[in-house]
Chains A and B, each alone.
Chain A
Amino acid sequence: MTPHISTPALHRYRLGESSPAEREAIRAHLDACPRCSERLRLQEAGRAAFVLEPVPEFLRAPPPARRRHLPWAAPFAAALAAVLVVVLFPLAGRGPTDPATLRTKGEITAMEVVAERDSGPVVLAPGARVVPGDRLQIRFDPGPYPWAAFVGRDGSGSIEVFRILPVEPGPLRSAPFALELDDTPGDEQIFVVFSDTPPDPEWLVGVLDDGGSAGGAVVTSIRLRKDTRR
């Protein structure tokens, strides 16, 4: 056995393809080995730079057929999106939910969150540490769904609907806004809800409360660990 982690094993670890036993062994090694930690950091930096690049035209699959939606939906949703730039929905009395459905690229829909760091943009893994003031960019691939809603839930349980947008099929792209984290303590969850019809904000809350399965919507999410210690 060589004393360091092999390059493909580091990739498997980073991409979540390791077995539980391999993952545990790699994690223990990384804790004690600055060299392999630096190799992993190089891979992650490469990933962060790459993710901002568009998919080459020749690789784009034919766009899937658009799903049927009601003819009145588009003007209604455009008006809704214009008005509902930010809407707050306190969740007092509602039980906590965690759809825990981070969908990675390669599935029908996808999302990831990129943070600006001193070393450049970094794609955040589920459970990554964030701090108040961090600026986050959401990237998403809607698959065949024509609507995307961007929603956040902070440590107090409040849900904030950031944007509701009509979207076209296509490659992973950035949401047209960035988020700046406030100092509310507790985990921060970010959801992107993909749907066939323009989502109503209350319906969105119901979808999140229902564990991400209500109304045929597809919920992608990531939970980030917010560290508010000074």
Chain B
Amino acid sequence: MSFDVADLYRRYGDLVLGRCRTLLRNDAEAHDACQEIFLRMHRYRDRFREEAAPSTYLFHVTTTTCLNRLRTRRRHPEDPLAHPPDMARVASNDTLLDDLALKDLVERLLAQADERTRLCLLYHYADGMTCEEVGTLLGITGAAVRKRISVFRESLATSPPPWLPERLS
């Protein structure tokens, strides 16, 4: 079923752009990523299915896109365009972590976690989603999410960052 991507942009563009700003920490790149997401939806609009909560779907697509961009930054340290300067403060940061803690979490995830584990941890620690909610979004069980988080926590056991809660909730 196709849908009007322009309407989606009008309704959810702020969600996508705000999420891009929060994760990418760069205004120009956030606009670029936002455009990429909607351009892709526009191009492949016949392949997308209507979601019960489009905001959650777009939230997930945006998060995945941003993490992929951040991973590309890490892989191409020689490219100055891949390393735009950070925004000192991210006005759109609506997560549960402050700017520095979020940046630290993302850097640790990019350094030592696979793609699915990155999403599990980001959604749980930064966005306050329960393991069951994360599992539903990713199409895995809540127990699988909890396991991935536990393994990651163990890797931080020797010097846990200040944003890490003492127990897995």
Contacts and interface: CB of A to CB of B under 8 A. Distances in A.
A59 to B, nearest CB: 4
* Range for the number of chain A residues in contact with chain B: 35 or more
Contacts of A60: 6
Contacts of B127: 6-8
Interface string A1-38: 11011111011100101000000000000000001000
B96 interface: yes
B135 interface: no
Contact of B42 (A4, A58, A110, A141): A58
Q: Helix, strand, loop or mixed for chain A's interface?
A: mixed
Interface string A80-116: 0000000000000000000000001111001000000
Q: Helix, strand, loop or mixed for chain B's interface?
A: helix
A60 B53 CA distance: 23
Contacts of B56: 8, 11-12
A16 to B, nearest CB: 10
B129 A42 contact: no
B10 interface: yes
A56 B8 CA distance: 12
Interface stretch (B13-21, B80-88, B143-151): B13-21
Given A15-B11, A42-B91, A50 B130 contact: no
A144 interface: no
Contacts of A51: 14
